[in-house]
Chains A and B, each alone.
Chain A
Amino acid sequence: MIGLYLVLVPLVFALILAFTKGRQTVVAGKLTACGLAGLLGWVSYVYFRGDGSQLFAVWDWAPSFGASLSFRINGLSYLMVFLVLGIGSVVFSYASDYLSDESAQNRFLAILMVFLAGMIGVVVSGNLIQLFVFWELTSLTSYLLIGHYHEESQSRWHALQALLVTGGGGVIMLVGFLMLGQAAGTFEIGGVLDAKDQILADPRLAGIVVCLLIGAFTKSGQFPFHFWLPNAMSAPTPVSAFLHSATMVKAGVFLVALLTPVFSGLALWDFPLMIIGGLTMLYSAALGLLHTDLKKILAYTTLSVLGLLMMMLGLGSDLAIKSAMVFLVGHALYKSTLFMCAGSVAHATQTRDVRKLGGLLKWMPITAWTAVLAALSKSGFPPFVGFIGKEYVYKSGIASEVLSPTILMVAFVTNLTLLALAFKVGIHPFFAKSPETGPEAEGHHPHDPTLWMSIGPLLLALAGLGAGLFPGVMGPLLVEPAVNAVAGREILIPMKLWHGFNAPLLISALTLVGGLVLYRFRWLIWNQRSGRVPHDVFEGLFEKGYHALLGFASWQTRLLQSGSLRNYFYWILGSFALLSILKFSIVGWVPEFRGNTPFTFMDGVIVAMVMSGALFALLARSRFVVILALGQVGFGIAWIYAAYGAPDLAITQILVETLMVLLFVFAIRKMPRLHDYSRKTERLRDGFVALVCGGVVTLLVMKTQFLQISVPISLEISEWSYVIAKGRNVVNVILVDFRALDTMGEVTVLGIAAIGVFVLLGPVLSKKRKGKGGDSSS
């Protein structure tokens, strides 16, 4: 039950936020922030004190597809819910003041709240299909949030990029889910985890793994899909702090962690995770060094940490899982804090360029100390939680049976770079000498943001310190249940701050020193590059692919939707004829004749009538004659219906023909006289197409009469017609009862066609009415 409430309550909040205005929105934002904190308290109470029955719930949704509305909260889900709600509450209190001078704030906060509901939905889903739905909801809301400043083409493009990458990955993941569900025989996640042996023996295993990993990699910005995340920094800062560091980008990591009990130990699963994860770690840390924009730097470090988490999960040992979970918590705490501090700095100084910032300590003391706390945790200084996480990473690297030196080396270099970057973002703007061209020199007087904006980040930073100082609290409550859930069994590794003097501590110390040295010589990198960053190759590839796709789309639209009636006829008739010919080549060309219905005098008259009508239509020199001749053909066909026992069809055909002729007469009055518009060759071509199509139709009619593909239902329908549907007219019973849904569709099409006619003739009509002085009624 509680899972459902966790999703519904934020949706209700979103609805309320959407209908507020101006100051109301600011107040409502703060109230919902408190509401989220309350929700967190409640879920924690139920989680720890309840008997566990509240944590699982299943309702049928679409049982024939195996999709259900199902909620499942285990240690891993709770950890994620804790982060989403805890950080969400801080972000909302921050955002309600951050955007208070914007008119679209209610829209912004409402979408952010919908995202929160979607994110919770992802982590508490007990069904793969449902998880996918929520997963795409987070992609969509992320698109809307990145594009919040939709007047700027840059931010629209970045939003689209993120949507295409994560949404596209999501669709591939859905394919993986479908195969996984089929292999396991259920879409319930609990059932999937139980069906491990069955899944590993499935022939589609490789496909499943690849699809799932692509989904996770795109969502979590892994190499080579990383470029969307730094670009997503076009979003307002609260979005970056919430979606693109603490929660949404962790969804990929969450998915990998969720399925670790099934796939861990499989080389196809472990090695891509380790290799791609490690590559992302190094690559993005290095790119981060080159950037000077506060948010870009933070984005690259986020990518780096996501890579680290992927690598640890790929490593899959008890220690590695433990380190991943500790790092997950630690990173969420310090990264969102740093983002919000960066946002406050940008808000106060109007710049995010790290080279123009400095000496802000005396202006913004609260922000400064908050940032310092977070930066120290990020750098991995004891006694912060970041230190514990890093220790576990080194420990699991040392203990690893495969690639131990490589993993250690990658982790060492990355952590060292991350430290330098943490100082660059969290310490430099406040403690460095203020530069000559900085905002201060220009006469700005930056100041701390409002209480609502400072208190949340400070609390998160302090939580990072507290979690490190008292690992005995966070460990058993938050981390250990999650680790057990990921590993699929009980793991007994207590969480400690101090492990004694050992190899990890030594590496840690070296990291600190190395990082500080790198930070000391930071000017070397910045000055030389002077803020110019090379264009990302993979983003370029993405852009090329995107434009190629659009080019292809417009090419084939030009080809198919030429706007020329003759071309449309060619396409429609041509494909009809070709498909029929293809079918004939399978079932045979020669029609068979069974029975011998005598050819009566009446038949001869009908045939003569139809054929002479067709011939007249072909030879006529006036449109009017053409239409009358075609009407003759139609009446002849109606006669066939009448003669062979289909009175309904005959009546309909006669009425339709009558009205058609009338309509045509009105339509052609204003058309020019018939001329020979086309050249001889074109007419020959048209004649050829017409002959082929006519021949195909003739052959088709002759063949279908004795072509039996399956048992016909017509006899049963006529039997049932009166018994079940109380009607003797079978045609009508089929139309209004047996296949009433089809008829419903058809009459709906009529309605749509009427709108089409209205639109097509609309300009003509309105022009005429205007010409008449508007006296014509409509």
Chain B
Amino acid sequence: MRSIILAQTGRIMVPALVVMSLWVLYRGHNLPGGGFIGGLLFASGFALVAISDGVAEARRRLRFSPILLIATGLIVCLGSGLPAVFSGDAFMKAFWLPAFSLPLLGKVHLGTPLVFDIGVYLTVIGFTLKVFFNLCEGGDA
């Protein structure tokens, strides 16, 4: 049931979805978006790959196993709360770098909430793809 249309669309859509998911992740603090939505976008990109080219191909292109992504995401989330602990504040108190300007992005604010959001992003990707891949494989036989 391989569809050429789907595969060709995927070739364009998947990189676009990945870039978009990163963009949504970054802009989330000020505009609609964030780690959760970004993660779902990323995952739908790879879901597309899994449907058109098979789960094995999707796994190969993802490189990292979903469980590893979940674990990394959780550790990143936890880690984003630690700077505050080491400086004697309450766990997860936000820390910000001074704002600076970059071409294309404009004024850039970097801080621990963004790190936390990256953790959420990774966990959501890992979870969604874990479930999706497993269900696809389970239903294949």
Contacts and interface: CB of A to CB of B under 8 A. Distances in A.
A741 B131 contact: no
Contacts of B59: 777-778
The number of chain B residues touching the other chain, given as a range, is 35 or more
Contact of A747 (B37, B94, B119): B119
A732 interface: yes
A296 B40 CA distance: 67
Contacts of B65: 778
B74 interface: yes
Contact of A659 (B47, B92, B109): B47
B67 A648 contact: no
Nearest to A671: B139
Contacts of A648: 32-34, 37
B8 interface: no
A205 to B, nearest CB: 39
A666 B136 contact: yes
A728 B74 contact: no
B35 A736 contact: yes
B85 interface: no
B89 interface: no
A744 B28 contact: no
B120 A655 contact: no
Contact of A761 (B35, B71, B81, B135): B135
B122 to A, nearest CB: 9
A758 to B, nearest CB: 7
Contacts, number: 151
Contacts of A754: 66-67, 70, 126-127, 130-131
Nearest to A649: B32
Interface stretch (A185-193, A551-559, A763-771): A763-771
Contacts of A765: 134, 137-138
Interface in A301-359: none
A652 interface: yes
Contact of A655 (B41, B66, B116, B139): B41
A729 B25 CA distance: 12
A737 interface: yes
Contacts of A758: 67, 130, 134
Contacts of B49: none
Nearest to A727: B29
Contact of A663 (B109, B117, B131): B131
A658 B48 CA distance: 11
With a 10 A CB-CB cut-off, give which of A659, A732, A768 has the most chain B CB atoms: A732
The number of chain A residues touching the other chain, given as a range, is 35 or more
Given A726-B111, A729-B32, A747-B123, A757 B92 contact: no
B28 A732 contact: yes
A739 to B, nearest CB: 10
Interface of A is mostly: helix
Given A736-B116, A736-B120, A777-B56, A725 B130 contact: no
A651 interface: yes
Nearest to A741: B92
Interface in B78-137: 78, 81, 91-92, 94, 96, 109, 111, 113-114, 116-117, 119-120, 123-124, 126-128, 130-132, 134-137
Given A652-B36, A754-B66, A777 B94 contact: no
B52 interface: no
Nearest to B59: A777
Contacts of B18: none
A662 B37 CA distance: 17
Nearest to A648: B32
Given A652-B40, A750-B127, A754-B66, A736 B139 contact: no
Contacts of B114: 736
A217 B51 CA distance: 68
Contacts of A743: 77, 116, 120
A630 interface: no
Contacts of A651: 32-33, 37
A748 B74 CA distance: 7
B140 A768 contact: yes
B123 to A, nearest CB: 4
Contact of B29 (A659, A732, A761): A732
A757 B37 contact: no
Contact of A729 (B34, B56, B127): B34
B22 interface: no
B71 to A, nearest CB: 7
A736 B123 contact: no
Contact of A744 (B66, B78, B113): B78
Given A751-B123, A768-B138, A777-B59, A735 B32 contact: no
Contacts of A741: 91-92
Q: Sort A-B residue pairs by CB-CB distance and give the 7 closest, nearest first.
A: A655-B40, A647-B32, A727-B29, A728-B30, A750-B127, A736-B113, A747-B123
Given A731-B32, A776-B137, 10 more contacts: A655-B41, A659-B132, A663-B131, A670-B139, A670-B141, A740-B113, A747-B73, A751-B127, A757-B130, A771-B141
23 contacts: A651-B32, A651-B33, A652-B36, A666-B139, A667-B138, A670-B138, A725-B113, A726-B96, A726-B109, A726-B111, A729-B34, A733-B113, A735-B120, A736-B113, A744-B92, A747-B73, A750-B127, A751-B74, A754-B67, A754-B131, A757-B134, A776-B56, A776-B137
Interface of A: 647-648, 651-652, 655-656, 658-659, 662-663, 666-667, 669-670, 725-729, 731-733, 735-737, 740-741, 743-744, 747-748, 750-751, 753-754, 757-758, 761, 764-765, 768, 771, 776-778
